[in-house]
Amino acid sequence: MPAPATLFLETPAATERLAHSLAQRVRPPDCILLSGPIGAGKTHFARALIQSRLVALGRSEDVPSPTFTLVQVYEDDGFDIWHADLYRLTSADELVELGIEEAFESAVTLIEWPDRLGSLTPDSPCRIDLQHREQGRAAEINWDDPRLDAVIGEMRDAEPTA
């Protein structure tokens, strides 16, 4: 696994660029775990990735936060994208009832508040930890899939130099 990469995302548009770059490469059974404090950009990232996939299919769809529903599912070309916000989760059993284990096998999954997954956490996810910074936010990314090497390289190349 490569060493974690930290990207500085000075604007919401930079967060969207990272999401769009990843959107071009995700496929089942990819799982992206999004952590960070409230307001750090987890939903913004997930929304941008999902909308990027939908636009590529010629579709436009509202992508609400699944805070109250726990999960929103979107149809992609031959597979589903699951967007889960586990902040309000009271038990991992709720996820089992929703079918999250099957989604980890057949869908692209975007999981906010992944610490609530416990033993259900899939093997080898892409982990993105978003944190507030004085000038925007930072994303620490951990991955072991070589498809993401190019995304990280592109984003590093696009970062402004001091």
Greater pLDDT, 136 or 38: 38
Q: What is the mean pLDDT of residues 34-63?
A: 94
Q: pLDDT band for position 95 (50/70/90)?
A: confident
Lowest mean pLDDT among 6-10, 54-58, 63-67, 152-156: 152-156
Please report, in angstroms and rounded to a whole number, the separation of the first and last CA atoms in the chain.
29
Cis bond before residue 29 (omega within 30° of 0): yes
DSSP β-bridge partners for residue 71: 84
- Domains located in the chain, CATH noted: 15-133 (3.40.50.300)
52-81: pLDDT as tens digits = 999 999 998 889 888 888 999 999 999 999
- Say yes or no to pLDDT of 3 above 50: yes
H or E stretch at 102:
helix 100-106
Query: What pTM was computed for the model?
Result: 0.91
- Say yes or no to pLDDT of 13 above 70: yes
